[in-house]
Amino acid sequence: MSTLPMKSGLLGIVLASLVATGAMSADTTIGVSFDKIEPFRVAQKKAIEDAAKAAGVKVDFANADKDAQRQASQVDTMVSNKDAAIVAIPWDIEAAVNLAVTSIAAGIPFVSMDQAPADLKAVTYHIGGDPCTDGKVAGEYFVKAAAGKPFKLLELQGGLANDNGIKRSKCLNNAFVGHDNIKVVAQVPTDWNPEKALAGTENAMQAHPDLNGIYAPWNDALQGIFPVLKAKNVLLPVGDPKHIIIVSIDGTPLGCKAVKDRLIDLEIATPVPEMAKRAIDAAVKAANKQTISPQTEYLPGIPYGPDNVAEMAPKIWGCQS
Amino acid sequence: MGYSAESLLSLRQIKKSFAGVPVLRDVSLSVGRGEVVALVGENGAGKSTLKNIMSGLLGPDSGEIQLGKKVLFRLRVEDVKSFGIGTIHQELSLFDTLSVAENVSIAELPTKRGAVDRANIRQTAKELLNDLLEADIDPDAIVEDLSLGERQMVEIAKAIRISHSLLILDEPTTCLSIQERKHLFAVVKKLRSRGYGILYISHFLDEIYELSDRIVVLRDGVVVGEERADLLPIKTLSKLMVGRDLDESPEQPADLVPNSPVILSVRELSDASLIREVSFDLRAGEILGLGGLMGAGRSEIAEALLGLRESEGRVTVAGHQFMNRSPKAAIGRGLVLVSEDRRRDQAFLIRSLGENLVASHVRRLAQRLTGRVSHAAEVSNGRQIVLEFGVEPGRLSNQMISLSGGNQQKAIVGRWLAHKPQICVLDEPTKGVDIGARQAIHALIRDRASKGTAFILISSDLPELMALSHRILVLHKGRVASTIPRERFDAADIVQVASTGRLH
Amino acid sequence: MISARVRALENARQQLGLMLIIAIVAIGFTLQTIRFADAENLRNILLQASATTIAAIGMTFVLAARGIDLSVGSIANLTIALAVALAGTPLPAELSTATDALVYPVVIVFGIVLGLVNGALVNLSGVSALIITLGTLTLYRGLALHLTKASLIPLTGAILSFARTEVLGIDLPIWSMGFATVLGWYVLARMPIGRLVLAVGGSPRSATETGIAVWRVRAFVFALSGFCAAVSGLISVGRVGVLNSDLGFGFEFTVITAVALGGTSLFGGRASVVGTVLGAMLLTVIQNGLNLIGADPYIYDVVRGGILLGAVSIDAFVRGQRPMAVQMSD
């Protein structure tokens, strides 16, 4: 065992980073608790690790795997470990409020990311996407594409009980006010599950074979949509007269590929690296007792389509791979 | 016969302890070809453990077992199967949701092209149940639809089906009618003559003497006596079992107080299926026996009185007509039922003895204690019942299921009598309990009756019925066939009326 | 004694009741949109029901034996992940047909193995199946996440064919569902092992006293459930075309609901494969119909809950007349 060289190597890194970051030492650890692990979260995790590296801090990562209880015990552990700050993507938006309160009471800043807790004032800082703007942009696109003609739209819904799901739906529909030519023929709840998106699309197309558009408020829904369109021989590129207009949100590799393949018309990509950077920066700042202003920030998604994907790609995280 | 019989199964110096408590200490026992060996002893003597070792469910701690010519340390399921040992368990090892035919053959289902050969198992069930045991049970019926007596017949058929050398019967007659019992005895004798070895475990000494060639007496895990049945007087046997002289004085209920008031009056009680115009009066302090075969309507009358079964007719309790009957309303009027299948209906087996003792009592107690049940009250009440009715072991925290059958029964009878009911309906109160518990329960019934509680006693055990009752109503096919006062009690008469509906 | 014929009629009546409810629901949806009632939608319903039905048939055996298997969704996920890792390759360019065909044996074998692990743990530990499979639910899912690194794996080749092949104009998943129904019914109702499953579930004590190898029966039902879960995983993944970490998440609830709806007792000893299939159909028909008529998304759970309660109440009503009759003799 060659522990000695390794130890001295580590020591070297520690010393070097101490010099580099000045006030912040490299043994500063920020606890990170994710609600679940899926491709989108994997990208966020990587972005957080990159941002932490840039800020010269370590992250202590935990996955609650869709369990509020588990997330609570993870946060408790981070508090008792005296992590410098906590960055969390809440699973249960109500329970997250309590987690923030207890953590802050123990003197540890609590930053929520992506998913907004029920009470935003409870957290030290929140950085999220802007689901309402994303929904609105999608809605406006459909309005423009319909160009005043009758337009039948299938709306797949993510979660009915979480912020992203609710606002992506509500603000889409708000954009249709005054445009009676747009008819949402079905709103299909899916619990963010691609299999349910598949069955829902299958069933909606059974009832409305003349569907004009589909709203897929998260990229994984595309996995459910494409097999159905293919089976019905309407999986056609943008521009084809029988093409069904699809707008999706997220900006994952799956979404980027669909845009590049000209299968979807518009994709609204969440600025993942930026979100992670702001979360980590705020956490580091708060750990150093600096004030953070504004306390809440929302980052609207970056819209892109088949025609501008080449020039937009550098800004879209899902187009990097 | 007897000692000289060729040995089928021999146990030698068997020892077995549970959690350090010795249950069997050095037991030797053998059953030979063509003999009936009776195993007797009070509850807790170790009979069940011995039975479980012989049927391959338990291994002994030490000792050896000779099976035919093989010497083994313990019997395994395969040994039991290949040697053909069948066991009738007191707690019935049946499967409620399967058919009679499937139950009988479940241990070895014959197949035809991969599927259960249903014609075959139906035929087997018919042969065993209908032909051999002369029981009228449809092989296609589902076991949960059968009465307890019928289930016991199925259990017997199931054991005989497995058995081709040795048959172990553990209290096989507790739910049987007189008629069914007769058939079973004939079958046991027939099997013996075919060379079967039979181990017969029972509390009924008359059965023991009728059937067995040899009697083995177990007490506290030790064989305290072994003798040919014809050489062992009943008095000696009883003494061996309990280790003390049993009270041999004939059991007599206290004389009825002359003109004691009629407390329950039943007029023309009928139901849709069985009971036909049953009328009787019950006086305070009276013990009224209900006799008859299984299915004559005895338990059904009890259920109709309590409102568990829809019925027509008039029921008057203490001068007030009792309409809209329900068990709860009945308790309110001082009418309680201690029903036949105590395990299923009455005891919460995994709860503690203490909780069981107060289960029905809690409400009354709670009301008295201004709505709150205090633990101390619960405990003291339970303790009182334990002392009064001699429940052993009387530690209130013991789980009910850990108590022996007799003590469970004492606890349950005690629980209901603690209500100080005016009228108590007892359905088979001493089924499957040992002599000591039986005597304790009898004494309790007589004592309570002398203090004014009226009893309706349902029992398939004729000596019990005759010993306790002031009067016996003999039922036949749902009707009262005869009412017999104590001075005219005669076992033969009662059996005749029960089986034919009249006295010739 | 209740005659055997009355009893058989009663069991049939329970299934007839479920069929009646499906019919009423179907008529209700047809009145809303005629497109509910055409052949294409029948195919949709059967396809959408196939994965749930097959897993539910396996679950019927587990519940019949007084067990429960919460790990079905995780088994579906992990077996597919294993197939992808061991036999398939995610990228078409690297795909070799030789290993590609191995995905089926891998899925099937691992489905059975993971089921047997459940059975072995239940047998050896003596802990209730609920706790054991709650553990393996997390364990198997964790292993799958580890294998796939939680990434989305687009699939090609043989692993998708199962869900996408038609035989005589009917999709293979629908054939499989029909086959599983007939086979499941036959095994449970006619074969010795089916009777032993009900015996062990009805009374483990009696089973032990009768010399039935209870552990073997338990191992069998869990292996069967694992096998069925793996097949349902093949169907799900074949339909969607990608393996994502969400595959099979919450699947156990749908499956157990279907089984319970079909009249199988959650306490063992009483089970009906036909009932299970009808239960799964009812769940699918509700979902399909609500999608078709474009129902308000917030009404889904209300309708589903209401119809389920209705079905259970009708079942209770049918059985409700029994307790009084049990004691009767003739």
pLDDT band at B504 (very low <50, low <70, confident <90, very high): low
| Interchain contact A185–C (C-beta under 8 A) | yes
DSSP state of C71: T
Collect all residues from C whose CB is shorter than 8 A from any CB in B. 1-4, 7, 186, 190-192, 195-196, 198-199, 202-203, 205-213, 269-270, 324-330
Per-chain mean pLDDT for chain C: 83
Q: Which residue pairs, CB below 8 angstroms and at least 24 apart, start in A306-311?
A: A306/A238, A306/A259, A306/A260, A306/A262, A306/A264, A306/A265, A309/A256, A309/A259, A309/A260
User: For position B44, what pLDDT does the model report?
Assistant: 67
The segments of chain C whose pLDDT lies below 70 read 1-8, 10-11, 87-99, 314-330
Query: Which tokens go with B371?
Result: 């709505």
Predicted complex ipTM: 0.83
User: For position B299, what pLDDT does the model report?
Assistant: 85
Per-chain mean pLDDT for chain A: 85
Task: Say if residue B491's pLDDT is above 90.
Answer: no
| Å between C316 CA and nearest CA of chain A | 31
Candidate from A300-309, B397-406, C20-29, C92-101 with smallest mean pLDDT: C92-101
Give the containing element (helix H, strand E) for B218: strand B214-219
Q: How far apart are CA C145 and CA C151, in angstroms?
A: 8
For B263-278, write each residue's pLDDT tens digit.
Answer: 999 999 998 878 889 9
| Interchain contact B298–C (C-beta under 8 A) | no
User: For position C243, what pLDDT does the model report?
Assistant: 83
Nearest by Cα to B41 from B452, B436, B484: B436
User: For position C248, what pLDDT does the model report?
Assistant: 84
User: For position C182, what pLDDT does the model report?
Assistant: 95
pLDDT band at A292 (very low <50, low <70, confident <90, very high): confident
pLDDT band at A4 (very low <50, low <70, confident <90, very high): very low
For B432-465, write each residue's pLDDT tens digit.
Answer: 677 777 888 888 888 888 888 899 999 877 778 8
User: For position B258, what pLDDT does the model report?
Assistant: 73
Sequence-ordered list of residues with C-beta below 8 angstroms from that of B433, at least 6 positions apart, any chain: B43, B203, B405, B406, B409, B410, B441
Residue type, A149: K
Q: How far apart are CA B98 and CA C199, in angstroms?
A: 7
User: For position C316, what pLDDT does the model report?
Assistant: 65
Q: Test C1 with B310 for CB contact under 8 angstroms.
A: no
pLDDT band at B368 (very low <50, low <70, confident <90, very high): very low
Nearest by Cα to A169 from C302, C304, C297: C297
User: For position C322, what pLDDT does the model report?
Assistant: 41
User: For position B385, what pLDDT does the model report?
Assistant: 61
Nearest residue of chain C to residue A253 (CA atoms): C152
| Å between C155 CA and nearest CA of chain A | 11
Nearest residue of chain B to residue C206 (CA atoms): B93
Q: What is the DSSP string of C154-186?
A: E--THHHHHHH-EETTEEHHHHHHHHHHHHHHH
> Residue B358 in contact with residue B365, Cβ under 8 Å?
yes
Rounded to 5 degrees, φ, ψ at C325 are -80, -15
User: For position B248, what pLDDT does the model report?
Assistant: 39
Task: Say if residue B49's pLDDT is above 70.
Answer: yes
The CA radius of gyration of chain B, in Å to the nearest whole number, is 24
Q: How far apart are CA A247 and CA A137, in angstroms?
A: 10
User: For position C95, what pLDDT does the model report?
Assistant: 45
User: For position C111, what pLDDT does the model report?
Assistant: 94
* B295 vs B453, higher pLDDT: B453
**Collapsed DSSP state (helix, strand, coil) of residue A236:** coil
Beta strand pairing status for B166-170 and B85-88?
A: parallel
Closest Cβ opposite residue B98 in set C2, C195, C211: C195
Q: Test C300 with A189 for CB contact under 8 angstroms.
A: yes
3-state secondary structure B172-214: CCCCCCHHHHHHHHHHHHHHHHCCCEEEEECCCHHHHHHHCCE
Task: Show which subunits contact C, needing at least 3 CB pairs below 8 angstroms.
Answer: A, B
pLDDT band at B294 (very low <50, low <70, confident <90, very high): low
> Residue B302 in contact with residue B339, Cβ under 8 Å?
yes
Query: Computed from CA positions of residues A98, A102, A105, A110, in that sequence, does the dihedral angle turn out positive or negative?
Result: negative
Sequence-ordered list of residues with C-beta below 8 angstroms from that of C261, at least 6 positions apart, any chain: C18, C275, C278, C279, C282, C283, C308, C311, C312
Per-chain mean pLDDT for chain B: 79
Nearest residue of chain A to residue C49 (CA atoms): A199
> Residue A316 in contact with residue A302, Cβ under 8 Å?
yes
3-state percent helix, strand, coil for chain B, nearest multiple of 5? 40, 25, 35
Give the containing element (helix H, strand E) for A172: helix A163-174
pLDDT band at B391 (very low <50, low <70, confident <90, very high): low
pLDDT cut 90: percent of chain A above it: 31
Q: What is the DSSP string of B251-275?
A: P-PPPPPTTPPEEEEEEEEE-SSS-
Question: Quick one: CA torsion of C265, C267, C273, C277, rounded to 10 degrees?
Answer: 60
pLDDT band at B380 (very low <50, low <70, confident <90, very high): low
| Interchain contact B111–C (C-beta under 8 A) | yes
Task: Say if residue B246's pLDDT is above 50.
Answer: no
> Residue C57 in contact with residue C273, Cβ under 8 Å?
yes
Give the containing element (helix H, strand E) for C274: helix C273-292
Q: Test C202 with B142 for CB contact under 8 angstroms.
A: no
Please give the average per-residue pLDDT across A42-61, as a whole number: 88
Give the containing element (helix H, strand E) for C258: helix C251-261
Sequence-ordered list of residues with C-beta below 8 angstroms from that of C234, at least 6 positions apart, any chain: C80, C104, C107, C159, C162, C163
pLDDT band at A29 (very low <50, low <70, confident <90, very high): confident
| Å between A213 CA and nearest CA of chain C | 15
User: For position B122, what pLDDT does the model report?
Assistant: 92
User: For position C4, what pLDDT does the model report?
Assistant: 63
For A104-115, write each residue's pLDDT tens digit.
Answer: 988 889 999 988
DSSP state of B99: B
Q: How far apart are CA B239 and CA B235, in angstroms?
A: 6
User: For position B249, what pLDDT does the model report?
Assistant: 42
Please give the average per-residue pLDDT across B143-153, as a whole number: 83
User: For position B41, what pLDDT does the model report?
Assistant: 80
Collect all residues from C whose CB is shorter than 8 A from any CB in A. 33, 35-36, 40-41, 44, 47-48, 138, 141, 145, 149-152, 236, 239-242, 244-247, 249-250, 287-288, 291-298, 300
Q: Test C195 with B145 for CB contact under 8 angstroms.
A: no
Can chain A be said to touch chain B, i.e. do they have 3 or more Cβ pairs within 8 angstroms? Answer: no
Q: How far apart are CA B269 and CA B304, in angstroms?
A: 8
User: For position B390, what pLDDT does the model report?
Assistant: 60
Task: Say if residue B238's pLDDT is above 50.
Answer: yes
Residue B85 sits at the vertex; the CA angle it makes with B461 and B137, to the nearest 5 degrees, is: 50
pLDDT band at B499 (very low <50, low <70, confident <90, very high): low
Q: How far apart are CA B150 and CA C306, in angstroms?
A: 42
Nearest by Cα to C35 from A208, A52, A165: A208
* B504 vs C115, higher pLDDT: C115
Q: How far apart are CA B288 and CA B472, in angstroms?
A: 6
Nearest residue of chain B to residue C208 (CA atoms): B57
pLDDT band at B243 (very low <50, low <70, confident <90, very high): low
What pairs with residue A297 in β-bridges? A127
For B87-117, write each residue's pLDDT tens digit.
Answer: 988 888 899 889 999 999 998 888 888 888 8
Task: Show which subunits contact B, needing at least 3 CB pairs below 8 angstroms.
Answer: C
User: For position A39, what pLDDT does the model report?
Assistant: 77
Q: How far apart are CA C183 and CA C185, in angstroms?
A: 5
Chain B hits for C208, Cβ within 8 Å? 57
User: For position A116, what pLDDT does the model report?
Assistant: 84
Nearest residue of chain A to residue C300 (CA atoms): A189
Residue type, A12: G
Closest Cβ opposite residue C199 in set B106, B299, B310: B106
Task: Say if residue B220's pLDDT is above 70.
Answer: yes
**Collapsed DSSP state (helix, strand, coil) of residue B50:** helix
Closest Cβ opposite residue A38 in set C245, C293, C294: C245
For B325-361, write each residue's pLDDT tens digit.
Answer: 887 888 888 888 887 554 444 444 444 555 555 544 4
Q: What is the DSSP string of B100-165?
A: HHHHHHGGG--EETTEE-HHHHHHHHIIIIIIIS-----TTSBGGGS-HHHHHHHHHHHHHHH-SS
* A313 vs C156, higher pLDDT: A313
* B353 vs A33, higher pLDDT: A33
For A142-179, write each residue's pLDDT tens digit.
Answer: 999 888 899 999 999 987 777 788 889 999 999 899 88
User: For position B43, what pLDDT does the model report?
Assistant: 62
**Collapsed DSSP state (helix, strand, coil) of residue C193:** helix
Closest Cβ opposite residue C2 in set B56, B102, B145: B145
| Interchain contact B57–C (C-beta under 8 A) | yes
Please give the average per-residue pLDDT across B122-133, as a whole number: 87
CB pairs under 8 A between A and C: 97
User: For position B369, what pLDDT does the model report?
Assistant: 41
